Amino acid sequence: MKDYFIRRLLLVPVTMLGVTFLVFLITRAAPGGPLEKAMMEAQMASDGGGSGGGRQQAGGLDEETIEANEEEFGYDKPVGIAYLQWLGLWQRERAISKSEFYERGEDSLGSDLIRDPENETLVVLKGGVGREVFVRKDGNTATKAFYVDAPKESLSGNGWKVRIESPRDRKLRWVRREGKKIDKAPDYKPRAVIYQAKLSGVLQGDFGQSKQFGDPVLSLIGDRIPIALYFGILTTIITYSVCLPLGILKAIKHRTFLDNATSILIFVGYSVPGFALGALMVVYLAARAGWFPMFGLDSPELADLDWWTWERIVDRAHHTVLPLICYVVGSFAFLTMMMKNSLMDNLASDYVRTAVAKGVNYRRAVFKHAFRNSIIPVASTLGQLITVLVGGSILIESVFDIQGFGLLQYQALLGRDTPVIMGTLTIAAFLLVVGNILSDFIVAMIDPRVKFN
């Protein structure tokens, strides 16, 4: 069995690579990505207030801004390299600073240092540095680069690298972006590019920064996990506390009025969408009757209180009632019927009939013998409880305006926020894979008949 679980664990990285690469491809190919969204917003702004200076491209953005967006999301690289950069296996270029080789005016800053404008230029470093660097090239190779204010200070020692982009390199990049022939490309000048290269991806704990919210992806996810845990744990406790006893009772009282009535109730609950029930309760129980708050998890006037104060606990419970009903109403049917059917199968088994024939009372036969074997199918679902970390219903959280994990995914999809989409999917997929392995492990522990050989 140990070998089986070792193989399963070794398959986790392979599965994660397959899932994340597939979604990465979809986000790259799907229309309406972050670059297209930025162009559309710039086009709307330019239509309303006129366009600014600089070489304008499609969507009203100047070329420098377009290139900055491409470099931020990896669109300037082939999809394979961009994926490796996202993983953290390929160095990502940061603080990219550029300057063309051109004739400067006499009054231009640093013009006294430029003797050969076609092969010399000055680059102002970005990333909060602001220092000027003198760059000299020979063909497409940088032969000299140093700080203007400190020529003896090592540029590479501070992590900076220099490369030269030829006019053809820039035209090929324009072709990839615009999808047109190279002879339609603008006339470009060669330019010096200075950047810092470092591994910065998932393996280094960097999921990127949200374009929509402006915060690191891990910070956004971390803020939502407590809410997901809150509703996930409450839903799990209520569901198992109700479904297991109810399933046992239905198996014992099979085909009685109690069995039929409870079946009708749980299947009606299963058939009603949680978000639809939530909308009805918000209208009738919150807006009209005023019995419950309409939105959120906390009242604004109590938000500054510590969470363990009695007023805050009561207020949180008051806000929790309606969304919690929506979460649990559809979760009773599956687990209840699984418990009932499994117990009925075991009650009809020979070993139970033999135990009763030997004088074991019915209650002991049910709970001592049949129940222990009937709980095995239910135990196979326990491993999936780990996914409560990233649980949540997109629609229920939208109805009640709860800032949970599901609403974050929904907002990221609407806003084409690729870093958030990839980050939430990666964590959710990892927990799902680990949950499947935990389910197998739990079954193997409680059922000695199961042998993973």
Name the CA dihedral angle for 58, 63, 69, 75, rounded to a multiple of 10 degrees.
80
Residue 15 has pLDDT above 90, yes or no: yes
Mean pLDDT of 239-264: 91
Q: CB count, 10 Å around CB of 421?
A: 21
Mean pLDDT of 9-20: 92
CA distance 332 to 265: 10
CA distances to 111, 114, 122, 124, 269 from 105, rounded to whole Å, are 7, 11, 13, 17, 76
Q: What is the pLDDT of residue 48?
A: 58
Q: What is the pLDDT of residue 443?
A: 80
Average pLDDT, rounded, for the chain: 84
What is the pLDDT confidence band of residue 74, given thresholds at 50, 70 and 90? confident
Residue 52 has pLDDT above 50, yes or no: no
Q: What is the pLDDT of residue 442?
A: 81
Q: What is the pLDDT of residue 51?
A: 45
What is the pLDDT confidence band of residue 106, given thresholds at 50, 70 and 90? low
The model's pLDDT over 404-452, given as tens digits with 9 standing for 90+, comes to 888 888 888 888 888 899 999 998 889 888 888 888 888 877 777 766 6
Which helix (H) or strand (E) segment is 161 a member of? strand 160-165
Task: From 287, 319, 283, select the one nearest 301 (Cα to Cα).
Answer: 319
Residue 53 has pLDDT above 50, yes or no: no
Q: What is the pLDDT of residue 212?
A: 82
Residue 100's φ and ψ, nearest 5 degrees, are -80, 160
Specify whether the CB–CB gap between 69 and 34 falls below 8 A: yes
CA distances to 60, 129, 172 from 181, rounded to whole Å, are 21, 38, 9
Q: What is the token pair recorded at 70?
A: 């491409």
Q: What is the DSSP string of 351-412?
A: HHHHHHHTT--HHHIIIIIIHHHHHHHHHTTGGGGGGGGG---HHHHHHHT--SHHHHHHHH
Q: How far is CA 435 from the centre of its chain?
A: 18
Mean pLDDT of 329-352: 88
CA distance 173 to 179: 10
CA distance 290 to 304: 24
What is the pLDDT confidence band of residue 190, given thresholds at 50, 70 and 90? very high
Mean pLDDT of 312-324: 88
pLDDT top residue among 90 and 394? 90
Q: How far is CA 291 from the centre of its chain?
A: 35
Q: What is the DSSP string of 203-249?
A: GGT---B-TTT-SBHHHHHHHHHHHHHHHHHHHHHHHHHHHHHHHHH
pTM listed for this prediction: 0.79
Residue 4 has pLDDT above 50, yes or no: yes
Mean pLDDT of 12-16: 92
CA distances to 74, 92, 194, 422, 433 from 84, rounded to whole Å, are 10, 9, 22, 14, 22
Mean pLDDT of 179-203: 90
Residue 50 has pLDDT above 70, yes or no: no
Q: What is the pLDDT of residue 350?
A: 86
Residue 102's φ and ψ, nearest 5 degrees, are -155, 165
Spatial neighbors of 33 by CB under 8 A, at least 6 apart, are 27, 73, 416, 418
Q: What is the token pair recorded at 340?
A: 């009932």
CA distance 369 to 347: 9
Mean pLDDT of 17-36: 84
Residue 89 has pLDDT above 50, yes or no: yes
Q: What is the CA radius of gyration of the chain?
A: 31
pLDDT top residue among 40 and 312? 312
